[in-house]
Every structure is written in C-alpha cells, then in structure tokens.
C-alpha cells in the first residue's frame, strides 16, 4: 500500500477529516478532543454500514478496519490489502513483538490513538504526530488533523552535537560540525545523553532521524522548552540528506518530493528505510558501489559533499517547534 489517502467520517453532528501518507500515524491529545468518539463512530460504521447513520467519503477504494482486544490481529494483518486500520493504545497486543514483526510486512496503514503520544513500540515520524482540533460550522462540529511539530527555518549554531547515529551518519557529522560530536548509539538513548550534558555546553544540537523519532520527540522537546540551550534538528534521515546533494538529487527528485507515491508499506515501515534502499540502488547503478549504513564510503568524504550536507542542516531543518 502506498499513497496519500483522505478520509471523511460524518455522523449526525460531527465530521472528521483525515489525511494519511505514512504507514504509521499517531493521533494524540487530552480527553475530550474527539479521539475516542472517532473510533466509536468508525466501529459503528464497520459493523453496521449505512444502518449506523455514518457516512464515509474516501479518496480511493481502500478498506477500514478497527483493531480491538478481541480481534484476531494475526489473521487481520496477514490478510490485509489496501487497508487502513485504527487502534487505541489500550489494545494489549499492540505492544507484542510478534504483532510488530507481522505488521512490518502488512499491506496497510495504521492510525494509533495515543493520549500521550509517547508510543515507542513501532517507529514513526515526527511529522506523523497529530492532534485533533474542532471548529464549529453551524450546528456541525468539523474535526481536523493538525501536525504538532513543525520545522522552523532559521540559522542556528551549536557548541556540542548529539547524534543518534553511531555509524556512517556519525562519521559524517564529525566532519560537518566544527564542535564536538558524540553518538547516542540509538534513538532511545538520546534523552539520557542530553540530560547528562545539559550543564556543560551553552548550545546543544540534537540531531535525529525525523522519520523514526516520533516516539521520543515529546520528552526531548519538553526538556528543550525548560532549557533554552537545546535545538532539535530532524531531517527525514541521514540518507535523505545524502540524496538531497547534487550527485544524487538528479536521480531521485520525484521520490524526495512525493515520497508517499513510492514508499510501499509492505516493504518499508518508515521513509528512513525507503531512502536507505533508494540510496543503495542509486550508488550501485550510477557510481559503482553500494551504500552501507555501517561505514561511510570515501565517495562522500570530499569537502564539496560535506559542505552540501552542512548547508542543509544550517539552512533547511534547524528546529522542531511545538504548536503553542
């Protein structure tokens, strides 16, 4: 399954308008924002169809499924085809490693209702975290999705950099930045590393892969609002930065701009994995070597290439800022 899908759910007094473009979307927010009501309305529609009084308008012909504790999830995922699934974070098997393993190859998207947004069991993008906001249109409430985190475009500097990568990305960032750069050895360790060094540097940059850091961004951003010396830099991934350079963008311009058209959920859980696969294919077909995340190839080590990556980090993706 690949593409950008819109869904409008209309009941007697409320209309929900959703737009989805990645395999995992998380809708968070406090009680009373309409998350649980949306699941209930969709459940009524799935069970009763038109008799539910719910009207569904879709951008294309895909199925809608509701996952509950009683659902035979293994069968649903194995049989899934061109399907969008909705699930509340209270569903127990969502945290099961077997569920996560089968879901990775399932031909579907999933929307997770998570009050805290700190759902870390499946990797998802920072830009896939939404909240629901309601506006009145006469007697009808119109509920729409809004991204919680946004890029802010401004030049920034750092006296210390923490990167989640420990291999090729870390090697490159040591050359990109003139200040000290340390690896957190994985996204789950970023917050701990940040806490350890908060008092040691006047300006700290946290560099993460936006395509898979969604489960951790909330805690890091809360800390950055308490301590004003922290900036979060979140490109889609390290491979995305490489693909945006002159040597590669000419082979991947459309894929970088309209990734949702190309990234098939059956093969790629996140866009990060898609970009890694795309970069490996381009290097092999056009430059005679295959990209590896483990070790940075000498092809990437000339000063012109490093400067292009440096320019992207300085001018394109400088900070993720929460609404409000």
* 136 and 166 belong to one structural domain: no
Query: Is the same domain home to 316 and 174?
Result: yes
Q: What's the Cα-to-Cα distance from 7 to each of 10, 106, 322, rounded to whole Å?
A: 10, 20, 25
HSE-up of 26 (CA within 13 Å, CB side)? 29
Asked if 117 and 227 sit in the same domain, the reply is: no
Q: Return the higher-pLDDT residue of 285 and 114.
A: 285
Average pLDDT, the chain: 90
Q: Are 18 and 140 part of one and the same domain? A: yes
Both tokens of 184, joined, read 């957190």
Looking at 147, 174, 202, which one is the last position of a domain? Answer: 147
Could you tell me if 179 and 78 lie in one domain? no
* Residue 119 structural domain: 5-147
Residues 190 and 283 grouped into a single domain: yes
Q: What are the tens digits of pLDDT across the range 291-310?
A: 999 999 999 999 999 999 98
- pLDDT score of 315: 56
Same domain, 295 and 199: yes
User: Which pLDDT tens digit goes with each residue over 2-19?
Assistant: 999 999 999 988 999 999
Q: Which two tokens stand for residue 83?
A: 């399907």
Which residue among 94, 113, 147 closes a domain?
147
**101, 186: one domain:** no
Domain count, the chain: 2
Q: How far apart are CA 233 and CA 203, in angstroms?
A: 13
Report the predicted TM-score, pTM, of the whole model to 2 decimal places. 0.92
Tell me: do 170 and 70 sit in the same domain. no
Q: Report strand pairing: 140-147 vs 129-137.
A: antiparallel
- Asked if 88 and 114 sit in the same domain, the reply is yes
> Coil, helix or strand for 215?
helix
Both tokens of 233, joined, read 């830099």
Which of 128, 147, 166 is at the close of a domain? 147
Q: How far is CA 284 from CA 279, 289, 294, in A?
A: 9, 5, 16
Is there a single domain that holds both residue 136 and residue 242?
A: no
CATH number at residue 41: 3.40.50
């Amino acid at each position: 399954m690949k593409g950008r899908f819109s869904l409008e759910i209309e009941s007697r007094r409320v209309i929900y308008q959703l737009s989805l473009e990645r395999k995992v979307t998380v809708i968070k927010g406090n009680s009373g924002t309409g998350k649980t009501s949306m699941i209930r309305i969709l459940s009524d529609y799935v069970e009763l169809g038109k008799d539910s009084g719910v009207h569904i308008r879709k951008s294309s012909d895909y199925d809608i499924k509701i996952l509950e504790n009683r659902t035979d999830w293994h069968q649903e995922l194995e049989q899934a085809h061109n399907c969008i699934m909705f699930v509340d974070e209270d569903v127990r098997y969502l945290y099961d490693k077997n569920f996560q393993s089968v879901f990775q190859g399932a031909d579907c998207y999933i929307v997770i209702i998570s009050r805290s947004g700190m759902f870390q069991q499946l990797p998802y993008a920072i830009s896939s975290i939404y909240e629901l906001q309601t506006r009145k249109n006469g007697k009808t409430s119109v509920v729409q999705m809004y991204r919680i985190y946004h890029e802010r475009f401004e030049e920034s500097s750092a006296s210390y950099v923490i990167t989640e990568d420990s291999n090729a990305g870390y090697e490159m960032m040591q050359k990109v930045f003139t200040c000290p750069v340390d690896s957190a050895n994985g996204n789950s360790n970023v917050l701990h590393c940040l806490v350890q060094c908060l008092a040691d540097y006047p300006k700290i940059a946290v560099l993460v892969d936006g395509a898979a850091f969604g489960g951790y961004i909330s805690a890091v951003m809360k800390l950055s609002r308490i301590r004003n010396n922290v900036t979060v830099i979140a490109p889609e991934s390290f491979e995305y930065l490489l693909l945006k350079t002159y040597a590669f963008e000419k082979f991947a311009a459309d894929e970088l701009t309209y990734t949702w058209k190309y990234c098939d959920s059956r093969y790629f859980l996140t866009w990060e994995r898609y970009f890694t696969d795309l970069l490996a294919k381009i290097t092999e077909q056009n430059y005679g070597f295959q990209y590896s995340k483990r070790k940075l190839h000498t092809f990437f080590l000339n000063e012109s290439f490093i400067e292009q990556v440096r320019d992207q980090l300085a001018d394109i993706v400088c900070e993720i800022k929460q609404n409000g």
